[in-house]
């Protein structure tokens, strides 16, 4: 929901940073892989109980996630780059709740499992829609230039990042926040299913 608003404010900064990376010969895929590694370090820090460190690493990781696309626009987009970006993003989204589950299983494990399950359903609704949209030669620039068709929704990257930040700032509230965001994520998946029924029925 907020991704478009965030992109308009962050893209000028990302483009400047990306120009420097591209001129140094750093590829978009290298940025994607580095961002993923930092995201996994964030999950490991959270699992070990270092939520403040986890928060910093999450923010750095998501900065890199925005930078890889900006670098790709300069150096040239590739299908492999788009594939890695999507797959590793979903890996990251599951790893952070898992980190909180490992940190405190009695308090967090069930809530984390529910949230990850809703992420799974939402991801399937997103990717399946993209496949059918590609088959029908549909296109959209609602979220800028992307490797695949992006359907908008209530729970997007910006909202997910905000919730992950809240998890780190208020770890004692993880379960409540996770259940609430699971409901928002499930609503987004259902809305995509309804959109698919209207678009492809």
Q: How far apart are CA 142 and CA 51, in angstroms?
A: 34
Number of domains, the chain: 1
Would the pLDDT of 93 be above 50? yes
Would the pLDDT of 1 be above 60? no
Containing structural domain, residue 176: 3-200
Q: What is the mean pLDDT of residues 174-191?
A: 95
Q: What is the mean pLDDT of residues 79-98?
A: 94
> How does the average pLDDT of the chain come out, rounded?
87
Would the pLDDT of 45 be above 60? yes
What pTM value is reported for the model? 0.86
58-to-31, 53, 161, 167, 200 alpha-carbon distances in Å: 15, 9, 8, 11, 37
Give pLDDT, residue 143.
Answer: 46
User: CATH number for the domain including 9?
Assistant: 1.20.120.1760
């Amino acid at each position: 929901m907020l991704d478009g608003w965030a992109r308009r404010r962050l893209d000028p900064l990302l483009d400047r940073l990306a120009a420097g990376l591209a001129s140094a010969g750093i590829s978009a895929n290298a940025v994607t892989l580095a961002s993923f590694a930092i995201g996994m370090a964030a999950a490991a820090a959270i699992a070990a109980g270092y939520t403040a460190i986890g928060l910093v690493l999450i923010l750095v990781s998501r900065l890199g996630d925005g930078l890889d696309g900006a670098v790709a626009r300069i150096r040239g987009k590739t299908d492999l780059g788009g594939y890695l970006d999507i797959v590793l993003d979903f890996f990251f989204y599951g790893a952070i709740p898992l980190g909180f589950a490992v940190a405190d299983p009695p308090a967090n494990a069930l809530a984390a499992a529910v949230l990850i399950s809703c992420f799974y359903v939402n991801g399937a609704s997103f990717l399946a829609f993209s496949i059918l949209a590609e088959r029908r030669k549909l296109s959209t620039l609602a979220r800028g230039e992307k490797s695949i068709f992006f359907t908008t929704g209530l729970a997007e990257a910006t909202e997910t990042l905000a919730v992950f930040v809240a998890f780190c700032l208020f770890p004692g509230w993880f379960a409540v926040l996770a259940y609430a965001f699971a409901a928002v994520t499930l609503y987004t998946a259902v809305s995509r299913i309804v959109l698919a029924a209207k678009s492809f029925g």
